[in-house]
Amino acid sequence: MPNVEVKEVPEVRGFSVVKSVPNRAALVQDLKPGVILIFHGKEGSNMLVEVFTPDPNGDKVLGAGKMASYKFSGSSDKVDNAYAAILLWALNNGASPGSPTREVYLKVDKNQNPPEVEVEVQVPI
């Protein structure tokens, strides 16, 4: 069974920019520790992704919420495996996953191609 944790995440102030990208690989340049990627769905065939950088002086507030959380370590092109773990957990626990989902990047090693990351995937429940 996946090691999914249910937790309340606090609100975070910061700066953000929304991007429309064809795939996850198009976000590699945005990956760095502390960055939060927020997935807002699709725009045509592209993903609509908010790149959020925490900063106490920021002009945007990322709201608090109850999240199913799963930590993933590995290749940045395999982060989707964390979503599969959360969905399996939700099915087994009667939880309803919501959106938008978040990826909180804890570590990023860009010396690898694709980068190796440690990321906490958060899905509202």
Whether the predicted pLDDT of 33 surpasses 70: yes
Evaluate whether 97 touches 80 at the Cβ level (below 8 Å).
no
Average of per-residue pLDDT across 23-36: 95
5-124 CATH fold: Multidrug-efflux Transporter 1 Regulator Bmrr; Chain A (3.20.80)
pLDDT for 106 equals: 98
Quick one: residue 24, left, alpha or beta (phi over 0 = left, psi -120 to 50 = alpha)? Answer: alpha
The model's pTM: 0.94
pLDDT tens-digit map of 41-71: 999 999 999 999 999 999 999 999 999 999 9
Tokens of 101: 């989902």
Does the pLDDT value for residue 1 go beyond 90?
no
Looking at residue 3, its amino acid is: N
Question: Is the C-alpha dihedral spanning 105, 39, 125, 123 positive or negative?
Answer: negative
Q: Residue 90: which pLDDT band, with cuts at 50, 70 and 90? A: very high
Residue-range domain boundaries for the chain: 5-124
Q: At residue 2, does pLDDT exceed 80?
A: no
Mark 89-118 as b/e (b = at least 16 C-beta within 10 Å): bbeeeebebeebbbbbbeebeeeeebbbbe
Task: Assess contact for 40 and 64: CB atoms under 8 A.
Answer: no
